[in-house]
Amino acid sequence: MKLSNKQTLSYLNKNVFSKSTLKFLSVLLLTLGIWGSYRNFANAKTAQDIPDELAETIEEIETAANEQDLDRLMEYYDEDFTNEDGLTTESIKAALEKTWSDYPQLTYETTINSWEENGDELVAETVTQIAGSQNSQGRVVNLESKIKSRQYFRDEKLVRQEILSEETKLSTGDRPPQVQVNLPEIVRVGEQYNFDTIVTEPLEGSVLLGTALEERTGSNLYVTPSTLELEPLSAGGIFKVVTAPRLSDNHWLSSIIVRGNGITMVTKRVRIQE
């Protein structure tokens, strides 16, 4: 099914591909990364080294997640839980409710890269890959995501979380554009860097629309929709030079490519360090 430019803009403005959609998904994916994190191990202690009470806690968390029992799940968050994006237990709960409504079924696979005991905390570094889909306004929207994060547990509860890298892609249509996003994960303060989204297949005369967005990470962006403003693309993608701020921070960079028979949107995290 092909869409005219007017139909495409109307479809996008109904928030199927709003920036907030990807932020909701990031919350869900990061939390799911914790739920499955002790299943697979790479370069870490063996499963036999995990204390029984921790293994039981993880199993209870997974059960609550699979049943989408949000109240039960939130019992495993410390009341003083902190996240570098400013998320709280209340904002996580709100985002999960919205995302589970949109994506009632997701599949995920998580591997622990490393974990260690640090005083009274257990620190786990995980990589989570998630896939799923939803039917929105008669169109199937597909999700793919890869999240690398570090979690800190104390007394069988999650107390702190750091996101090390993050990439989420949404696509829809008969032929969503195949893209390659070139973007560093870490840059220095004040540094200039390239943000390129390249269409990797022949255009075959297709007219492309698109835009690129940069924003500071923050808890308000997980729940506040934003309007997309698309422009005609004269080349086979989007090519931008971005200047990092003068202070350490985390930014989301998003790009969307649209043609008559498909849409692709990608969001990645850039960590800005001294």
Q: What is the pLDDT of residue 196?
A: 97
pLDDT of residue 39: 47
Give, rounded to a whole angstrom, the gap between the first and last alpha carbons of the chain: 48
pLDDT in tens, the chain (274 residues): 454 445 554 445 444 454 444 444 555 455 555 544 444 444 445 444 766 666 676 667 767 777 778 898 899 899 999 888 888 888 888 888 887 888 888 766 666 777 788 899 988 777 777 778 888 778 899 989 898 988 888 998 989 889 999 999 999 999 999 999 999 999 999 999 999 999 999 888 888 999 998 888 754 544 454 566 889 998 889 999 999 999 999 998 999 999 988 999 999 999 999 9
Q: How far is CA 200 from CA 168, 180, 265, in A?
A: 18, 7, 14
Q: Is 107:131 a contact under the CB 8 Å cutoff?
A: yes
Tell me 36's DSSP state.
T
DSSP 8-state code for residue 91: H
At residue 90, what is the residue type?
Answer: E
Which 8-state DSSP code applies to residue 15?
Answer: I
User: Which tokens in the block code for residue 188?
Assistant: 């220095």
Give the pair of three-digit tokens for residue 208: 């492309």
| CATH class given for the domain over 5-273 | alpha beta
Q: Where are the domains of the chain?
A: 5-273
Which DSSP string corresponds to 147-213? EEEEEEEETTEEEEEEEEEEEEEEEESSSPPPEEEE--SEEETT-EEEEEEEE-S--TTPPPEEEEE
Q: What are phi and psi of 73, to 5 degrees?
A: -60, -45
Which class for 159: exposed (0-12), middle (13-18), buried (19 or more C-beta within 10 A)?
A: middle
Q: Which two tokens stand for residue 26?
A: 């990031």
**Amino acid in position 181:** V
Provide the token pair at 260: 């008559």
Please, what is the angle between helix 89-102 and helix 19-35, to 10°?
Answer: 100
